[in-house]
Structure 1
């Protein structure tokens, strides 16, 4: 990850730096209380045993009060650490998803169209989940582990300087060897793991989406075999990851065992020489044991750091792509009404041998309804994409009210256009929720008016009105009802220009003709540019064109 502007990944973490710093402090306090508790308890037990054996005076209350105080401090800091850490993680997860959508949506469909939906889902779910806990799972624990090591060495130096030297050597061994074992090649492994998970999500998603087609082609078993193979690859990658972590823990255990034996020998020898009090010797041994326990979490933290860095890079690969079009530095106001004009427009897709549109001319006057037909791949949908300014032409110009579309801010221009794509989705939700996607501020009266225009009013009133549930992908609707509901979203915008791409796709002839006739009546003076393969009934449009060799011909 690299430091970027305030709307980048680090900007999101910086926005919550107070909570993150508090979380790191609480992690350190929890570790400190745990190490102090075990050290004090060990020394206290030894001192108590020696005092009992010698019938000597012994201050029992101060150490026991310290044990109780450290116990309560550890419980309190642990609870507060989880509370603050989860709160910060959830807030960052929320902001990361908003950030990802805000940066990725302007890239659709021009820059995101080449990516598989399963890939985008993997980045939206798995990668953001890796990044949102980066500080809490990796950076805060690693910082706390370093801080607790420094505090432990300082305490050992105050008690017995050679013990501090041994702890320093042990900390360096664990701080270098274990991270090297765990993190060696971690970026490559985590990148491969992310790729395998993406492949599995993609296959599962596409299999569910195309379940009917797979069943019809008797290809379900073969697809399931591919999913199982992808799942096996993910499982094997996770097993290799765990084996690497186990090897790191084994190395940590070997270093810890050697260090603990060394500390025991060092403190016993010092105690035998009368250089170190027995209870302080016990405290040093138990402190070493406590430090080894907290340092055992270093491997997981290093793995989380590597996974988070790879995930952040994968998110960058999406959102750092330059958009297909950009807003002008000084945008011009969009006229309230005007004619849409294509002037000798030339457009070719990247890498194409010849242009899709080649010197195309077209005028759509205010209130005029135009249909454009032609063979698949002839450039009809490309023309609609230029109207929406998803792309800019390589030659010629597209103007509205005499002003090039490139002179408008995209948001301002899009408010002038109502758009219905060929595969307009119906979302799981109510009728009202689906319609208000087109105009969130529309009141109930406006919704009923659109339903009446599209002959859905009686159907809705027979059920639960505007709250009628339409199901996932409009499961409770017929094909014609789903297309009418999607068209209602476009009509509700009351934009002066309506652009429809195959509005009758998948409908029988009678249903399609009825929909188009109702559409013409509902436009109420608005302009219409309709891409269609079908025959348009009389009276629906004023002019019908046919796309041929990148140009338009009447007929």
Structure 2
């Protein structure tokens, strides 16, 4: 029962993959037809060559005239088709493979984006990367290593057996029996034997990547606590498990190769035994014996890839399940059925908002009320864990609140599609990511159609233009992985420039000076002062000193609700939560 359920699930996964591949059916079919033509030409070449050589030998021995022009022409034709067919087959199948790879990756990213960050919290970064890269690469082999061999084997076997039956039905029947053993029974047996090892290998490789990534990321801590040997032993154990599965799969692969070779040789001997009496009786020309024997043996080229293809099916299905397990998750944020409304203004209202990340966890926001008028500048402060960053998560529609409502431009936030809501918001987070591309590439992420004048204006406002121009290639300078060419303060200012380039009416700033020295923080706040002009701004920070003159109002958040509001000077002058927070943060 369990095996039947697993098999049914495997068929469902393969059908889903086939649906994803449908846009490239033409390329896939073209690759299969070219592979079929090359295979049939190779089989025909061997069979005709056997007939030709045997006929020449017999004609020479008997001293009779032999017409060698026709078989010679056939040999040349088969050779040309085989050579050209194999070249074109490699060209087309690899083009199809690359197109399918692009299709899979784009499809996966499109379904991954609505899940971030809420539904991806349980996945580690290395595990997600493993699914994006290694698992999709494994799925990409479904066409080249499973679909093409299966289709070509089925079509080629029919053609080969039909032609063979024209010369000898017994040879065709015997060859058909052995082809079914090598192409049907053996692959199914190998699939059952290799499914567990293949699936386990996929899981072990993913676990091994996580372990190695953890070891590299925490190397300093492992050295301090003397835990390197323990972690090395863990990596070694996972490596041994993976090697055991790979040895098992390699053993099955070797067995399959030997079994197919045995079937091919048995088919050759069967052809000789079946045809020899007819040759002795003069019912069949002697040269046809050699032709049928080589024809029967060559026929197994059609099914040779099948055992390995079905053996790898376990890995492919395991990779498919890992991919589908991610994309089948329900997004935490729902999208409206109709079009998003047009906002009346750039105001934001939080009205009695209650929010928690899981039903088993306490409320992060509990009766949260806050109004951001168009053009206003508000700082949201509070102790760590008070729920400040959660406010930004809700406004950016990464999560939906469970109770209360959030208004954006006079409409509830749930009326907007997530992307439409974010179009009105620019965010500078404390860990704004810079990609391994040029400065210009990173800026254009905010607005791909921005011209040079708009880009320079945003960078000047963020006070990063001079820094960029001092780089070796200016705006075309590669930043390296995570923007390593820039310092922390420069990277933050570039992130601000990117947010300004988006030209959104609402600006959210999450701890923009976190981890920066005092001089860099002051310079960054100077950049922020000009960047805030004309926008509704919500600044989340632990740095209370620079707030005077930077924001109009401060809201103090404690235990999920606003407990004090007012201008920085007013709140600093009276006893209360803001003063206590000042004393706590120094």
Distance 2:415 2:446 in 1: 25
Structure 2 residue aligned with 1:46 = 54
Matches within 5 A, 1:191-340: 191-210=199-218, 223-335=231-343, 337-340=345-348
- Is 1:172 the counterpart of 2:176? The answer is no
Structure 1 residue runs without a partner (length 5+):
none
In the TM superposition, residue 219 of structure 1 has moved relative to its aligned partner by 5.4
Matches within 5 A, 1:443-482: 443-463=451-471, 464-482=473-491
Structure 2 residue aligned with 1:496 = 505
CA contact (8 A) 2:367 2:561 kept: yes
Structure 2 residue aligned with 1:547 = 557
CA contact (8 A) 1:491 1:523 kept: no
- Is 1:505 the counterpart of 2:514? The answer is yes
Compared CA separation, residues 262 and 66, structure 1 to 2 (3 A):
same
Structure 2 residue aligned with 1:528 = 537
Distance 2:119 2:193 in 1: 31
Compared CA separation, residues 536 and 326, structure 1 to 2 (3 A):
farther
In the TM superposition, residue 34 of structure 1 has moved relative to its aligned partner by 0.9
In the TM superposition, residue 221 of structure 1 has moved relative to its aligned partner by 5.9
Matches within 5 A, 1:382-397: 382-397=390-405
Q: After superposition, give the CA deviation of every residue in 1:73-129 in whole Å (9 maximum; x if it has no partner).
A: 111111111111111111111122111111111111111122111112111112221
Matches within 5 A, 1:331-410: 331-335=339-343, 337-410=345-418
CA contact (8 A) 1:181 1:247 kept: no
1:189 to 197, 206, 210: 197
Distance 1:107 1:55 in 2: 81
CA contact (8 A) 2:279 2:289 kept: yes
Compared CA separation, residues 422 and 462, structure 1 to 2 (3 A):
closer
Compared CA separation, residues 349 and 413, structure 1 to 2 (3 A):
same
Matches within 5 A, 1:70-109: 70-109=78-117
Distance 2:521 2:176 in 1: 80
Q: Give the superposed CA RMSD.
A: 2.3
Which 10-residue stretch deviates more, 460-469 or 86-95? 460-469
Structure 1 residue aligned with 2:33 = 25
Structure 2 residue runs without a partner (length 5+):
1-9, 565-577, 579-586
Which 10-residue stretch deviates more, 157-166 or 265-274? 265-274
Distance 2:513 2:214 in 1: 25
Which 10-residue stretch deviates more, 499-508 or 264-273? 264-273
Structure 1 residue aligned with 2:583 = none
CA contact (8 A) 1:28 1:144 kept: yes
In the TM superposition, residue 220 of structure 1 has moved relative to its aligned partner by 5.6
CA contact (8 A) 2:265 2:297 kept: no
Which 10-residue stretch deviates more, 422-431 or 213-222? 213-222
CA contact (8 A) 1:513 1:536 kept: no
What secondary structure sits across from 2:379 in the alignment?
Answer: strand
What secondary structure sits across from 2:367 in the alignment?
Answer: strand
Structure 2 residue aligned with 1:424 = 432
In the TM superposition, residue 247 of structure 1 has moved relative to its aligned partner by 1.7
In the TM superposition, residue 170 of structure 1 has moved relative to its aligned partner by 1.0
Distance 2:451 2:235 in 1: 46
Distance 1:514 1:176 in 2: 72
CA contact (8 A) 1:43 1:280 kept: yes
Question: Normalised by the size of structure 2, how large is the TM-score?
Answer: 0.89
CA contact (8 A) 2:201 2:242 kept: yes
Structure 1 residue aligned with 2:5 = none
Distance 1:542 1:2 in 2: 62
Structure 2 residue aligned with 1:110 = 118
What secondary structure sits across from 1:184 in the alignment?
Answer: helix
Distance 2:346 2:131 in 1: 42
What secondary structure sits across from 1:64 in the alignment?
Answer: helix
CA contact (8 A) 1:134 1:304 kept: no
What secondary structure sits across from 1:136 in the alignment?
Answer: helix
Distance 2:192 2:212 in 1: 32
Distance 1:392 1:114 in 2: 18
Which 10-residue stretch deviates more, 212-221 or 529-538? 212-221
Distance 1:334 1:211 in 2: 51
Distance 1:87 1:244 in 2: 30
What secondary structure sits across from 1:77 in the alignment?
Answer: helix
Structure 1 residue aligned with 2:134 = 126
CA contact (8 A) 2:343 2:410 kept: no
What secondary structure sits across from 2:478 in the alignment?
Answer: coil
Structure 1 residue aligned with 2:584 = none
In the TM superposition, residue 313 of structure 1 has moved relative to its aligned partner by 2.5
Structure 2 residue aligned with 1:66 = 74
In the TM superposition, residue 159 of structure 1 has moved relative to its aligned partner by 0.6
What secondary structure sits across from 1:133 in the alignment?
Answer: helix
Distance 1:214 1:479 in 2: 26
Compared CA separation, residues 336 and 211, structure 1 to 2 (3 A):
farther
In the TM superposition, residue 418 of structure 1 has moved relative to its aligned partner by 0.3
